[in-house]
Amino acid sequence: MIVRQRTNWLKMLFIWRGSVLKKIIVQLLTITLFSLAIYFFKGKIFDYKVHLNPTIFTLIGLALAIFMGFCNTASYDRYWEGRKLWGLLVIETRSLTRQILSLIDGPQNEEKQKIVKLISAFCWSLNYQLRNKSGTEHLERLLSPEQMDKLNGKKFIPNIILGFIADWSKEQNRKGNIDTIVLTQLDHQLNQFSSISGGCERIYNTPLPFAYSVLLHRTVYFYCFWLPFGLVDTLGWMMPLIVGLISYTFIALDAIIQEIAEPFGEEENDLALNSICRTIEFSIFEQAEIPQGELQKSDSYFID
């Protein structure tokens, strides 16, 4: 994900990184060249003049804009819900870390630090589960060899890691280091973790209905390829430029809708999950006074 400072209007015209232009440049060039051909042949196909009233495109364009607005809202809702879930995860990890450090007196500080590392491991495992990656380089850094062995062959690794934390809490209660009230509070925090994980899985496993995407995609391209016939007689040589600009607006918005509808991906405008995981790890490690080595910067996101 790109986070950059607001720049002046002139620089905004030429920004490439983070723009969807590089994904649609071939389509735009194809439509522009097609418009040039229509202008050269004066809107004729095999000596047949294609008569299309520009008013038709006004009506279709209005309907298309309304439908694209609906799809854009639906996609952004998915994006923003994902961001709220991960923002809640930041809060809950810090709260659970504080409770472990302040409410449990018995264990040595080194043992508490191991549980704090488990909290970080949960975040990294959820991150990579949403991206269909193993993420073993982070888990091996945060978990013990015995815990790594228990993860072999498991599909829902975040839930297994939550089980490790729950088992530790139960053990502290058995030893008398925490009472039932504190144990209940810790269990409530772990339930919050499970709710966040389930919410992310709901977004991941329930994409926008495919029929919406197909209808929007087809309508946009049909509209852009028929538009030159309706404007060639009224705009003349300016027609290819105007068609290219209109096509950029519709096709780029279609690409943005498809991109943010899957917020846990690794494209430039998706959520910066790796950066969020680093933020969580740095903050809870600081709480627990764990030495913070340089994290591996292996994700595809960058922040300006």
In this predicted model, what pLDDT tens digit does every residue of 215-251 receive, in sequence order?
888 999 999 998 898 888 888 888 899 999 999 999 9
136 vs 66, which has greater pLDDT? 66
Q: What pLDDT band is residue 303 in, cutting at 50, 70 and 90?
A: very low
How does the average pLDDT of the chain come out, rounded? 85
Measure Cα distances from 24 to 21, 28, 177, 275 in Å.
5, 6, 60, 27
102-116: per-residue pLDDT in tens? 888 776 778 888 899
Please give the Cα distance from 284 to 100 (Å, whole number). Answer: 11
User: Angle CA(238)–CA(239)–CA(241) in degrees, nearest 5?
Assistant: 70
Mean pLDDT of 289-297: 64
pLDDT at 72 over 80: yes
137 vs 147, which has greater pLDDT? 147
Contacts of 113 (CB under 8 A, 6+ apart): 288, 289, 290
Note the pLDDT of residue 41. 81
Cβ(187)–Cβ(179) below 8 Å: no
Residue in the structure block whose two tokens are 């008013």: 55
Note the pLDDT of residue 129. 92
Note the pLDDT of residue 297. 42
Percent of the chain exceeding pLDDT 90 equals 41
Please give the Cα distance from 18 to 258 (Å, whole number). Answer: 15
Note the pLDDT of residue 45. 73
5 vs 152, which has greater pLDDT? 152
Note the pLDDT of residue 167. 92
The pTM of this model reads 0.85
Cβ(271)–Cβ(86) below 8 Å: yes
Comparing 17-31, 171-185, 286-300, the range with the smallest average pLDDT is 286-300
Q: Where are the domains of the chain?
A: 45-288
Burial class (CB in 10 A: 0-12, 13-18, 19+), 220: buried
